[in-house]
Structure 1
Amino acid sequence: MITSPAWKDRKYAVLGLARSGRATVEALLAAGAEVLVWDDRAEAREPYAGRCAIGDPLEADLTGYAGVVVSPGVPLNTHPIKPYADSFGVPVIGDVELFAQARADLPPHKVVGITGTNGKSTTTALTHHILKQAGVPTTMGGNIGLPILEQDPLPEEGVYVLELSSYQIDLTFSLDCDVAVLLNITPDHLDRYDGDFQKYAASKSRLLTMQTRGHNSIARFTDARSLGNFAEGSIASILEDVLANRGIAGEEQADWPSLQGPHNRENAAAAIEICDILGLSSDDIRSGLQTYPGLPHRMERVAEVAGVAYVNDSKGTNTAASAPALAAFDNIHWILGGLAKEPGLGECEAELSHVKAVYTIGKAGPDFAALLEGRVPVERCETLDRAVSAAATKAQTGDTVLLSPACASFDQYADFEKRGDHFRALVEGLK
């Protein structure tokens, strides 16, 4: 695990004992810190009896504490822990901030931080894959993979590749990335930012402002122009310029089987620029692009049945995330709906020419059906099993059945993974 001598004999409270919370507690204890732990679930607190103080930080005297470590899932705009900790002058932080504090005691290394509304997971996993294929010691963490503090420190010249949500950035104050990437910003999670898109955008762009002179930042021209939040002295790259200037042509995308569609061209461009900055050769980068296996639930080709392709894009949880999937295929039977994050079709509107028929599901299904009826054939299915069955009946050879719901899953599933797993199981049942 990753620890720091700076935590020794200091006091921390950890609120939330899911996986990252547990990893945080173990790292702090291993470093010799005093830890107060709390989770609303008694069974989560039980393993720490006799090892830690147990109590709700909201009822504790936090005088002298070095930090309250919370899960990124804790909504800072509404949860009472932030004003309560502020009253004691104690920072509310996350495990990524603790990692940032531990860096001084790790073997010499670099950190790549990747944020943006859409494409974070693919770009993080792709960058990690290219580095690993090239023989660079690397690991990925943050919002993907194992909690970063649970992982072993990398050897000298290793590269930590971190996917960072806005929630994690809100809990981080000293993460100075060697390469920081802002892929894109579109409205999402606005309930956490009081409905204010500018607050959300400012949260994302803080990843760039935490950098020090001489470090590299990457962003789209449109976002860079509107935000203007590069750190003074950082070296900025514009994402749109990468494929014209790094020796890897856009038409080579045909050789990257798991990176199809215009959005994956942008994800690939970000990974190419990162790896170029880190000193990899064009041949190493090209090899990684060609062998990247893709991520589950992100334009994942599940099967071909009777000449029809079935694609699981359950991670398309907003319209901006689903639009690129629509752009990547033709003759689409689109399974759409769930818990909507914004009204209307958003960026999906421009891709309707690729859609042959729509099958609506979930809470937002009726609203989407009303928007689309008369424009494309629509079937109101309510549930995923009915939608897959209906699409399988109507799809013809050469068509694609695409689950890209443009919505969160929480009206019918615990998370987008469960929704994607159900889709995969339903498709397997068609064989």
Structure 2
Amino acid sequence: MINESTHIANQKLPLQGAGGLVVLGAGESGVGAAYLAQQQGYDVFVSDFGAIATDYKKQLQDWKIPFEEKQHTEEKILSAVEVIKSPGIPEKAPIVKKLKEKGIPVISEIEFAGRYTNAKIIGVTGSNGKTTTTSLTYHILKSAGLNVGLAGNIGKSFAYQVATEKYDYYVLELSSFMLDDMYEFKVDIAILLNITPDHLDRYDYKMDNYVASKFRVTQNQTANDYFIFCADDPETIKGMQSREFTAQMLPFSIEKTIETGAYLDNDNIVINIHQQHFQMSITELALQGKHNVYNSMASGIVAKVLELRNETIRESMGDFKNIEHRLESVGKISGISFINDSKATNVNSTWYALESMTSDVILIMGGVDKGNDYTMLNELVRQKVKAIVCLGRDNDRIHKAFEHDVDTIIDTVSAEQAVQAAYHMATKGDTVLLSPACASFDLFKNYEDRGNQFKQAVKEL
């Protein structure tokens, strides 16, 4: 990804004593970054304002990396020459503001790790479908026999893998929070799936700020790189009008014919890139539903850019198993289907989930509202939802948004309560769908914890 001279120029010399490298946040990305920094000869210190999970604490102790938890010692942090910030820490955090005031560079783990690998980077961003598309792309590349790693917002941290593996390719799921702290990092093949309002609380409730964050995936690209984007997504197209791109453009669409890129011809995905041609019926795709046609197109374009065999792509797209917590079938009880879509942390994800439902739905939703606009769900809720079970501490906005669309909206404060309530309201042939449209932090550690508690509650019915 980076030629050798750049690689050496970017590589910082080991820093001893005061003024080393500080890592803020000791989750997956922070601990991985600390390990890579130590391996590269830095004097590292890790600081977490909250409690550090036992597993991560043990890793830091085993590696003899100094750390603190439940506090930020400003004297130590503000003497750093560079700070790696975990994506969950907002710019508004007091310690981050102080670092910026002092002019101390604050970067992401992805930015840092990128200095120490020459692998080709495939970076996937978008408001919805990132994890699915990243996982599918990885699956296709791995099935084709490429030496490929999977990282970013998914799996083991990029920094840890750079420290311990020697991959030729990485497929990275890149959230807007990660992109915000990336400056020199370059993505060789960038995918922007879509842009819909999400995390606006982190962007001063300004859509333009969020859009700008997403387009950072294309920064530093050259004429040898590729930018894959959805030609049907209005915010993407609008955002492109005021920006210039150096990379080769590869759009995908299900609404119109695309000469170089991907499109839908009747029920066939067609991909054409530089004499590379691929075609596959959407009925053969492992992932069904309109949104997954888009996801499959994006992954398929990457495969053709890398000139993988059509047979491999077809097989991989046909046998891919979807990720946990994304429209995951949990099973049937008394003829009622239970689906775990806990990863749907924004309104658009819930829209996709409802759109793919073919039976009547009892919808479990709610949590930490990130300034959500629920109006896009009203029509689908009227058509498909029999009742809403709120799972969250503050459900007022959900009640107000849907009081005219469904007869029953009830409040619960645990996965067990929500599942019990939904089960009693459902009849044979219905689907109980957990698709929250909200973050999980009011009642759960994260969306995985929420999904796992939902699955456990279903098992106990």
TM over 0.5: yes
Residue 432 of structure 2 is aligned to residue 401 of structure 1:
yes
The partner residue of 1:324 within 328, 352, 355 is 352
The alignment status of 1:360 with 2:375, answered yes or no, reads: no
Identical aligned residues as a percent: 33
Are residues 48 and 225 of structure 1, via their aligned partners in 2, closer, same or farther at CA, if it must alter by over 3 Å?
A: same
* Equivalent residue runs for 1:237-252 within 5 Å: 237-240=250-253, 241=258, 242-244=262-264, 245-246=270-271, 252=281
Q: Which residue in the other structure is 2:75 paired with?
A: 59
The aligned counterpart of 2:237 is 225
User: How many Å apart are 1:61 and its aligned residue?
Assistant: 8.2
Cα gap change, 1:203/1:40 in structure 2, threshold over 3 Å: closer, same or farther? same
* CA displacement at 1:354 relative to structure 2: 2.4
Q: Which moved more, 1:345-354 or 1:118-127?
A: 345-354
2:140 counterpart residue number: 130
CA 1:166–1:52: 2 relative to 1, 3 Å: same
Unaligned residue ranges in structure 2 (runs of 5+): 1-6, 265-269, 272-276
Question: Is contact 1:209–1:231 with CA below 8 Å preserved after alignment?
Answer: no
- 2:326 and 2:94 map into 1 onto residues whose CA distance is 35
Matched, 1:208 2:218: yes
Greater alpha carbon shift after TM alignment, 51-60 vs 364-373? 51-60
Counterpart amino acid of 1:225? I
8 A Cα contact 2:196 2:235, kept in partner: no
The 2-side partners of 1:170 and 1:409 are apart by 22
The answer (yes or no) to whether the contact 1:312–1:424 under 8 Å persists in 2 is yes
From the superposition, tell whether residues 416 and 111 of structure 1 become closer, same or farther in structure 2 (CA, over 3 Å): same
Which residues in structure 2 correspond to 1:233-272 (within 5 Å)?
233-240=246-253, 241=258, 242-244=262-264, 245-246=270-271, 252-257=281-286, 259-272=287-300
Shift of 1:15: 2.1
- 2:239 maps to a residue whose letter is L
Q: Is 1:278 paired with 2:306?
A: yes
Asked whether the equivalents of residues 361 and 387 of structure 2 are also in contact (C-alpha less than 8 Å), the reply is yes
Q: Which of the numbers 114, 117, 127 marks the counterpart of 1:100?
A: 114
Q: Does 1:387 align with 2:418?
A: yes
Q: Which residue of 2 aligns with 1:287?
A: 315
* Deviation per residue, 1:321-361 (Å, 9 max, x gap): 10000000122221122222234423322422122332233
Q: Please say if residues 183 and 220 of structure 1, whose CA atoms lie closer than 8 Å, have aligned partners that are also in contact.
A: yes
**Range moving further from structure 2, 309-318 or 45-54:** 45-54
What whole-Å deviation, never above 9, does each CA across 1:276-322 have from its counterpart, x for those lacking one?
11211222111111111111110000102222221000111111110
Tell me the alpha carbon deviations over residues 14-71 of structure 1, each in whole angstroms, 9 at most, x when there is no partner: 22223322222221111112224333468759839975598957324867x5421111
Distance of 1:170 and 1:57 partners within structure 2: 24
In the TM superposition, what whole-angstrom CA distance separates every residue of 1:246-278 from its partner, at most 9, and x where no partner exists?
16667x333334x22222221112111111112
Partner Cα separation in structure 2 for residue 230 and residue 362 of structure 1: 40
How far apart, CA to CA, are the structure 2 residues paired with 1:374 and 1:327?
20
Question: d(CA) in 1 for partners of 2:51 and 2:327?
Answer: 39
Change (3 A) 1:67 1:268: same
- The alpha-carbon deviation at position 365 of structure 1 amounts to 3.2
Q: Distance in 1 between matches of 2:102 and 2:404?
A: 59
Deviation, 1:225, is 2.4
1:186, CA displacement in angstroms? 1.3
- 2:153 counterpart letter in structure 1: N
Q: Secondary structure at the match of 1:7?
A: coil
CA RMSD of aligned residues (A): 2.7
Change in CA separation of 1:333 and 1:51 when aligned onto 2, cut-off 3 Å = closer
The whole-number CA distance in structure 2 between the counterparts of 1:50 and 1:95 is 20
- What is the aligned partner in structure 1 of residue 90 from structure 2? 75
Match of 1:139 in 2: 149
* Residue aligning to 2:3: none
**How high is the TM-score relative to the length of structure 1?**
0.88
- TM-score of the superposition, structure 2-length normalised? 0.83
The answer to which of 263-272 and 370-379 deviates more is: 370-379
Instruction: State which of 320, 345, 348 in structure 1 corresponds to 2:374.
Output: 345
For residues 162-191 of structure 1, what are the alpha-carbon distances to aligned partners after superposition, in whole Å with 9 as ceiling and x for unaligned? 011111111111121110011111111122
Name the counterpart of 1:191: 201
In 1, distance between residues paired with 2:218 and 2:300?
A: 19
When residues 332 and 129 of structure 1 are mapped into structure 2, their CA distance, relative to the original with a 3 A threshold, is same
Query: Could you list the runs of 5+ residues in structure 1 that have no partner in the other structure?
Result: none
Give, in whole Å, the separation in 1 of the partners of 2:424 and 2:12.
Answer: 60
Structure 1 window deviating more from structure 2 (224-233 vs 28-37): it is 224-233
Q: CA deviation at 1:405?
A: 1.3
Do the aligned partners of residues 93 and 61 (structure 1) sit closer, same or farther apart at CA in structure 2, a change above 3 Å counting? closer
Deviation, 1:149, is 1.4
**How far apart are 1:239 and its partner, in Å?**
2.3
Q: Tell me the distance in 2 between the aligned counterparts of 1:428 and 1:61.
A: 46
What letter matches 1:69 in structure 2? I
